[in-house]
C-alpha cells in the first residue's frame, strides 16, 4: 500500500438519484426518495477513491464498515455530492468521514472504511468460503 495520501485530503464524486435507488422491498416501494442503502453504496465509493490511489498493482480495496446518519430525503433526479475526507490510516485500513449534500443541504453523514489487501490474500479468503 502506498501511503502518499495525506490525512485531511478530500475525494468527491457526484451522483444523480435514480428510481432504483428508492427503498424497494418485496412488498413494494416504501418512499420515492433515495434509500439509506443507496447512500451507503455511494459513500463507500467515495472512500474507495482513496483506495484506488493508494493500492499497489497487486492489491485491492475491500470495504470494512459503513456508518450512516440519513438526515434528509433526496428525490429522483437530485444531484448529490458525496465527499470523503481521509481521517485515519490504521496499518492497511483507511477511514474516512463522508458527507452527502444536495447543494447546501446535508442529506447524510457518516464514516466508511476500506482495507487494502493483496489480491492473492483476498482470493484465498473468498475461496475458503466456497467450501
Q: Is residue 98 part of a domain?
A: yes
Higher pLDDT, 116 or 4: 116
Q: Is residue 119 part of a domain?
A: yes
Task: Tell me which residue range forms the domain holding 113.
Answer: 10-129
pLDDT of residue 131: 65
- pLDDT tens digits, residue range 86-99? 999 999 999 999 99
Query: Which residue in the block uniquely carries the three cell numbers 458525496?
Result: 82
pLDDT of residue 25: 85
Phi, psi of 12, deg, nearest 5 = -145, 160
Q: Is residue 5 part of a domain?
A: no
Burial class of residue 76 (count of CB atoms within 10 Å of its CB; 0-12, 13-18, 19+) = middle
* C-alpha to C-alpha distance for 85 and 4, rounded to whole angstroms: 15
Q: Is residue 3 part of a domain?
A: no
Q: Is residue 112 part of a domain?
A: yes
- pLDDT tens digits, residue range 2-60? 877 889 999 999 999 999 999 888 788 889 999 999 999 999 999 999 999 999 999 99
Q: Is residue 75 part of a domain?
A: yes
How many domains does one find in the chain?
Answer: 1
Domain of 27: which CATH number? 3.10.129.10
1: confidence class by pLDDT, cuts 50, 70, 90: confident
Q: Is residue 122 part of a domain?
A: yes
Amino acid at each position: 500500500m502506498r501511503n502518499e495520501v495525506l490525512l485531511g485530503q478530500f475525494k468527491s464524486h457526484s451522483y444523480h438519484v435514480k428510481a432504483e435507488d428508492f427503498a424497494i422491498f418485496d412488498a413494494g416501494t416504501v418512499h420515492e426518495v433515495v434509500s439509506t442503502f443507496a447512500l451507503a453504496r455511494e459513500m463507500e465509493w467515495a472512500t474507495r477513491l482513496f483506495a484506488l490511489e493508494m493500492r499497489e498493482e497487486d492489491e485491492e480495496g475491500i470495504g470494512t464498515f459503513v456508518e450512516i446518519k440519513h438526515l434528509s430525503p433526496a428525490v429522483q433526479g437530485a444531484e448529490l455530492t458525496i465527499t470523503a475526507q481521509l481521517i485515519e490510516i490504521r496499518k492497511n485500513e483507511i477511514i474516512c468521514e463522508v458527507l452527502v449534500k444536495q447543494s447546501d443541504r446535508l442529506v447524510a453523514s457518516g464514516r466508511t472504511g476500506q482495507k487494502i489487501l493483496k489480491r492473492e490474500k483476498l482470493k484465498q479468503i473468498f475461496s475458503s468460503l466456497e467450501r
